[in-house]
Amino acid sequence: MISHRSITKTILLSTIVFLSLFFGNIVNAQDGKALFSQNCAACHAIDKKLTGPALLGVQDRWPDQKKLYSWIKNNQAFLKTGDPYANNLYNEFNKTAMNLFPNLTDPEIGAILKYIKEWKPAVAPAAASGAPAPEGDSTLLFGILTLILAIIAFTLMQVNSNLRKLSDDKEGILAPEPVPFWRNKAYIAFVTVILFLVGGYYTTKGAIGLGRNKTYQPEQPIYFSHKVHSGVNQVSCLYCHGGAQDSKHASIPSMNVCMNCHAAINEYKGPKFYTEEGEEVNGTAQIQKLYEYAGFTAGKPWDPSKAKPIEWVKIHNLPDHVYFNHSQHIKAGKVQCQTCHGEITNMDEVKQFADLSMGWCINCHRETKVQFKENGFYSIYEKYHEDLKNGKIDSTKGITVEKIGGTECQKCHY
Q: Measured from the CB atom, is 57 or 405 closer to other proteins? A: 405
- Smallest gap from Cβ 81 to other proteins, in A, equals 35
In the stretch 371-390, what mask flags binding to other proteins with x, by CB under 8 A?
Answer: ---xxxxxxxxxxx------
Closest by CA to 332, choosing from 298, 369, 382, 370, is 370
CB closer to other proteins, 178 vs 309: 309
> Judged by CB under 8 A, does residue 331 bind other proteins?
yes
CA-CA distance, 131 to 146, in Å (whole number)? Answer: 21
CB 348 within 8 A of CB 274: yes
Cβ-based nearer residue to other proteins, 45 or 257: 257
> What residues from 290 to 309 belong to the interface with other proteins (CB under 8 A)?
294, 304-305, 307-309
Give dist(CA 306, CA 312) in Å, integer: 19
Long-range contacts of 229-235, Cβ-Cβ distance < 8 Å, separation of 24 or more: 230/344, 230/345, 231/344, 231/345, 231/346, 232/270, 232/271, 233/270
Task: State the minimum distance, in angstroms, from the CB of residue 26 to other proteins.
Answer: 24
Q: If we measure between CA atoms, which residue out of 34, 26, 359 comes closest to residue 208?
A: 359
Judged by phi (left if over 0) then psi (alpha if -120 to 50, else beta), residue 350 lies in: beta
Which residues does residue 280 pair with via DSSP β-bridges, in sequence order? 274
What distance in Å separates the CA atoms of residue 226 and residue 224, rounded to the nearest whole number? Answer: 6
Residue 113 interacts with other proteins (CB under 8 A): yes or no:
no
**Cβ nearer to other proteins, comparing 213 with 288:** 213
Binding to other proteins by residue 398, rule CB under 8 A? no
Task: Residue 367: count other Cβ atoms within 10 Å of its Cβ.
Answer: 12
Of 269, 258, 264, 268, the C-alpha closest to 299 is: 264
**Contact residue for other proteins among 319, 359, 394, 396 (CB under 8 A):** 319
Give the binding range for other proteins (CB under 8 A) out of 58-66, 71-79, 80-88, 251-259: 251-259
> Binding other proteins by CB under 8 A: which of 186, 238, 332, 362?
332
Q: In this structure, which amino acid lies at residue 196?
A: F
Report how far residue 42's alpha carbon sits from residue 336's, in angstroms, rounded to the nearest whole number.
Answer: 16
Binding mask 202-241 for other proteins (x = CB under 8 A): ----x---xx-x--x-x-----------------------
By CB under 8 A, how many residues form the interface with other proteins?
59
Residue among 222, 221, 218, 254 at smallest CA distance from 239: 254
Tell me which residues in 129-168 interact with other proteins (CB under 8 A).
none
Strand partners, 274: 280
Report in angstroms how near the CB of residue 306 gets to other proteins at its nearest: 9
Among 5, 49, 120, 248, binds other proteins (CB under 8 A): 248
Query: Among 64, 97, 312, 397, which residue sits at the site for other proteins (rule: CB under 8 A)?
Result: 312
Which of 68-76, 148-156, 183-191, 317-325 is the region at the interface with other proteins (rule: CB under 8 A)? 317-325
For residue 200, state whether it binds other proteins (rule: CB under 8 A): no
Which residues of this chain interact with other proteins, rule CB under 8 A? 206, 210-211, 213, 216, 218, 242-243, 246-249, 251-257, 294, 304-305, 307-314, 317, 319-321, 323, 325, 327-328, 331-332, 374-384, 404-405, 408-411, 413-414
